[in-house]
Chains A and B, each alone.
Chain A
Amino acid sequence: MTSSDTILKRKRRSLILLLAPFSIMLLVFFLIPLGIMMVYSFLEPGLYGGVEWNWYPYNYGRIIGWPLNDFEEFEPIYLKIFLNSLQIAIMTVIGTFVLCYPAAFWVSRMQGAKKNFALFLITLPFFANLLVRIYAWLLLLRPTGFFNTVLQSAGLIIEPLDLLFTNFSVIIGMVYILTPFMFLPIYANVEKLDYSLVRASQDLGANALQTFRRVILPLTAPGIIGGSVIVFIPALGNFIVPSFLGGSKVQMTGNLIERSFLQSRDWPFGAALALLIMASVVVLIVFQLSRQAKAEARGVS
């Protein structure tokens, strides 16, 4: 055996050793559980929780309107809730975008230590506990909360406003917890913005609006799309925000999943709903990856 063979063999052995722990863990505690969840979504719910090992597509039928037989009716409520979740997730994406885009320009025009400090301040709340941040909005929005107390003592309103338990309060909570996810990718793009192109556009006679629409917006689009994808994903399946800021009035698919697992103990139905969310996410990620691959092929990032 030549020495290069031994080196190659040793290299392969260390590669396998390095990759083994993560690979095994990924397989056992990630891929297999997801696979089982998928299988469960096609099984019949057991009478007292758990599953019966019978083929049972009705879990999906309940969601998309394909009842199994005369006894089980299609309930459009689940589809409605899913559409409402989609709507809230999209509104959250728009909200975080509107909030973060100007802020990214603000930070990108700063210098040195000031810029680092601003980035630090913007990133920090992201590390605060999810519950603590939602709790804070409860304190702001509830009838005896901060906003109503301030408005009432200023004499602007007499009765407290119903700020809580609306789609709006859920969206505000979502925007609040997901802002850094939008800010950072947008900022990375705005920071790299090549102002010579902006100048060229102006020199060629474009007005500010045209320059923005045809030069600045396309150049920062990768960050906007990237941020939108990573805001949309956690927003879609979230159930903590709607269960506190939406009360019983705003239902999202995440709440349905939670209830199917922990209250009604209909695991297959919950698994089917989870798979619906998973499918939406996969579609988005495939879209994002193919867009990235195309951009790389064109030589831009």
Chain B
Amino acid sequence: MFDKILDSKIWSLFFKGYGFLFLGFLYLPLGLIFVYSFNANSINMAVWTEFTFDWYLTIFGGASSQSSFDAAFTESPERIFEVVKHSVIVALSASTVSTVIGTATAIALARYNFVGKRFYQALLVLPMIVPDIVLGIALLIFFVGAGFHLSLLTVIIGHTTFLSSYVFVVVSARLAGMDTSLEQASADLGAGPITTFRRVTLPQIMPGVVGGFLLAFIISLDDVVITYFIAGVGSQTLPLFILAMMRRGLRPQINALAVLLLLFTFVVAAVGLWLRSRKS
């Protein structure tokens, strides 16, 4: 029997071994960046010389014991702070706006029926499905043609467009499993739609809304392709900055920057995944 086979000693051992290889494949590359980021060897990162915090220190403007040769290849803390600031401004505004828009739309589709609802639903998730590069250049053509100056604003608009779809999907999933009797009871007891929303609906969908917001925040913070096309000269974000650094060659400072970005993303993602798992 197949389920017996799957449970048999040999197969369960096979699956276990495979599982660890699978996780190894997922984590070895990331773990490697982490280890390299503490390696003093700036010529060949794969060869360990000695442990150092220098690459992290250069990011925060601390004194570096590295030679001037290395200093020429490291970015100034001011510049790094600037692109991080851009990223945070974009991610915060885009995910806030798209959380409001996506949640409103999810509620409308869960609670009302109208002609063409299924078609509209399909339309709503399109920005998420269209390849990044297509959306990126379509927005670029549009912004330039409409006379927009490429800036943080165009990046925020571009991100909001596809992030709203993500929030919509996450909040819709939450709404789908929700009991409507509480809302009806609230309406029967004389609460207006706004009161019902604020006191009954919103608290119930809150994990979905927060989860959607965090997901949108991470995706915005990490987006490379769409941002690449619609960011102006003065509106570089952290991923674009890393992209530019990678094009100039691999320097150990990238490792440290990548680890910091990785840690931050993982913390936000862990909170989001935890919120999502709480619903079941």
Contact surface of A with B, Cβ cutoff 8 Å:
10-11, 14-15, 17-19, 21-22, 25-26, 29-30, 32-34, 36-37, 40, 99, 102-103, 105-107, 109, 116, 118, 120-125, 127-133, 135-140, 142, 144-146, 148-150, 176, 179, 195, 198-199, 201-202, 208, 211-212, 215-216, 230, 233-234, 236-240, 244, 254, 257-258, 261-262, 267, 270-271, 274, 277-278, 281, 285, 289
The listed residue (A123, A142, A274) touching B137 by CB distance below 8 A is A274
Is B170 in the interface zone, CB < 8 Å from A?
no
> What 3 A-B pairs come out closest when comparing CB atoms?
A136-B29, A237-B131, A33-B142
Q: Give the residue among B122, B138, B139 with the most A Cβ atoms within 10 A.
A: B138
Is B51 in the interface zone, CB < 8 Å from A?
no
Query: What residues of chain A lie closer than 8 Å to B265, measured between beta carbons?
Result: 127-129
What is the CB-to-nearest-CB distance from B228 to chain A, in angstroms, rounded to a whole number?
8
Is B25 in the interface zone, CB < 8 Å from A?
yes
Given contacts A18-B107, A129-B239, contact A216 B6 (CB under 8 A): no
B1 contacts A26, C-beta separation under 8 Å: no
Is B233 in the interface zone, CB < 8 Å from A?
no
Interface string of B85-109 (1 = CB under 8 A from A): 0000000000000001110110110
Interface positions of B from 112 to 167, Cβ below 8 Å from A: 112, 114, 122-124, 126-127, 129-135, 137-142, 145, 157-158, 160-161, 164
Is B202 in the interface zone, CB < 8 Å from A?
no
CB<8 Å pairs between A and B, sample of 22: A11-B112, A22-B124, A25-B161, A34-B138, A36-B141, A37-B134, A118-B19, A121-B27, A124-B266, A125-B30, A128-B30, A129-B261, A131-B242, A136-B258, A138-B246, A140-B28, A199-B3, A233-B131, A236-B131, A240-B243, A278-B130, A281-B134
Dominant SS among interface residues on chain A: helix
What is the CB-to-nearest-CB distance from B253 to chain A, in angstroms, rounded to a whole number?
12
Dominant SS among interface residues on chain B: helix
A25 contacts B262, C-beta separation under 8 Å: no
Interface positions of B from 231 to 280, Cβ below 8 Å from A: 239, 242-243, 246, 250, 254, 258, 261-262, 265-266, 268-270, 273, 277
B134 contacts A109, C-beta separation under 8 Å: no
B131 contacts A234, C-beta separation under 8 Å: yes
Q: In whole angstroms, how far apart are the Cα atoms of A114 and B225 in the complex? A: 35
Q: In whole angstroms, how far apart are the Cα atoms of A223 and B5 in the complex? A: 22
B277 contacts A127, C-beta separation under 8 Å: no
A237 contacts B133, C-beta separation under 8 Å: yes
B262 contacts A37, C-beta separation under 8 Å: no
Q: In whole angstroms, how far apart are the Cα atoms of A106 and B7 in the complex? A: 10
Query: What residues of chain A lie closer than 8 Å to B26, measured between beta carbons?
Result: 121-122, 125, 179
Q: In whole angstroms, how far apart are the Cα atoms of A277 and B131 in the complex? A: 8
Q: In whole angstroms, how far apart are the Cα atoms of A106 and B18 in the complex? A: 8
The listed residue (A34, A103, A234) touching B18 by CB distance below 8 A is A103
What is the CB-to-nearest-CB distance from B126 to chain A, in angstroms, rounded to a whole number?
7
What is the CB-to-nearest-CB distance from B117 to chain A, in angstroms, rounded to a whole number?
10
A33 contacts B141, C-beta separation under 8 Å: yes
Q: In whole angstroms, how far apart are the Cα atoms of A125 and B124 in the complex? A: 27
What is the CB-to-nearest-CB distance from B189 to chain A, in angstroms, rounded to a whole number?
16
**Which of the four size classes fits the interface of chain B?**
35 or more
Q: Give the residue among A15, A230, A262 with the most B Cβ atoms within 10 A.
A: A15
A33 contacts B138, C-beta separation under 8 Å: yes
B3 contacts A274, C-beta separation under 8 Å: no
What is the CB-to-nearest-CB distance from B44 to chain A, in angstroms, rounded to a whole number?
5
Q: In whole angstroms, how far apart are the Cα atoms of A201 and B2 in the complex? A: 9
Query: What residues of chain A lie closer than 8 Å to B5, measured between beta carbons?
Result: 208
Query: What residues of chain B lie closer than 8 Å to A22, measured between beta carbons?
Result: 101-102, 104-105, 124, 164, 168
Closest to B48 in A: A149
Q: A15-B108, A22-B104, A33-B135 are in contact. List 5 more A-B contacts (CB 8 A).
A: A19-B108, A25-B161, A135-B250, A139-B32, A262-B229
Q: In whole angstroms, how far apart are the Cα atoms of A216 and B6 in the complex? A: 12
Q: In whole angstroms, how far apart are the Cα atoms of A126 and B163 in the complex? A: 16
Closest to B160 in A: A25
Q: In whole angstroms, how far apart are the Cα atoms of A131 and B244 in the complex? A: 11
Query: What residues of chain A lie closer than 8 Å to B22, measured between beta carbons?
Result: 99, 102-103, 106, 122
Query: What residues of chain B lie closer than 8 Å to A267, measured between beta carbons?
Result: 141
Q: In whole angstroms, how far apart are the Cα atoms of A30 and B139 in the complex? A: 8
Closest to B124 in A: A22
Query: What residues of chain A lie closer than 8 Å to B16, measured between beta carbons?
Result: 106
Given contacts A22-B104, A278-B134, contact A261 B224 (CB under 8 A): no
Given contacts A33-B142, A137-B29, A233-B131, contact A21 B104 (CB under 8 A): yes
What is the CB-to-nearest-CB distance from A156 to chain B, in angstroms, rounded to a whole number?
15
Query: What residues of chain A lie closer than 8 Å to B222, measured between beta carbons?
Result: 127-130
The listed residue (B137, B139, B261, B268) touching A29 by CB distance below 8 A is B139
